[in-house]
Amino acid sequence: MSDEKLPILLVPDARLRLKARAVEAGDDDSVRDLSARMLATMYAAPGIGLAAPQVGSGLRLIVLDVGPKDAPEPMVLVNPEILAASREMAIREEGCLSLPGQYADVERPERVKVRWRGLDGMRHETEAEGLLGVCLQHEIDHLNGVLFVDHLSPLKRNMMLRKLAKELKARTFDE
């Protein structure tokens, strides 16, 4: 397994808008390597979640860790899907490694029920709320080509994307 970091795609890269394909049995070896590299990339960023499309892979794979910094609790979810979402909504500030430095309050279902397969092939299911619930919804959105800014009003989204474009242009100019 490699812990070599991967480049993170930034908005407006069109690959971030593609729907990822399901991981199949023949993908197992590459998924093990990719998930290890994704975790290394996520921790180095630093972030708490990363979806395969963010590193240029079209697979339905996410990694996340919402545990305390001194006691990591990495999770690797293969083919995750939201089975149910609560009607109650919650607002939480979100950011994204593909939109560096951009944060906004996003309204999402307060609780979700999620099913996935682990690297061991076993099926898992959990009900999540709070930070884990938001992180699962955010990363699963990535697998469907959806970014957190898509949950904002058109005005807020456009302001944020313009600000990011300006910052990235300035950063490129400075390098």
81 is catalytic: no
State the Cα–Cα distance between residues 150 and 170, nearest whole angstrom.
24
> H or E segment at 37?
helix 28-44
State the Cα–Cα distance between residues 5 and 47, nearest whole angstrom.
13
State the Cα–Cα distance between residues 70 and 73, nearest whole angstrom.
10
Torsion, Cα 107 81 149 154, to 10 degrees, reads: -80
Which segments within the chain are labelled E, that is strand? 49-51, 61-64, 75-85, 89-96, 99-109, 111-117, 123-129
Contacts of 27 (CB under 8 A, 6+ apart): 59
CB atoms within 10 A of CB 148: 23
Which one is catalytic: 24, 81, 110, 139?
139
Residues acting as catalytic residues: 139
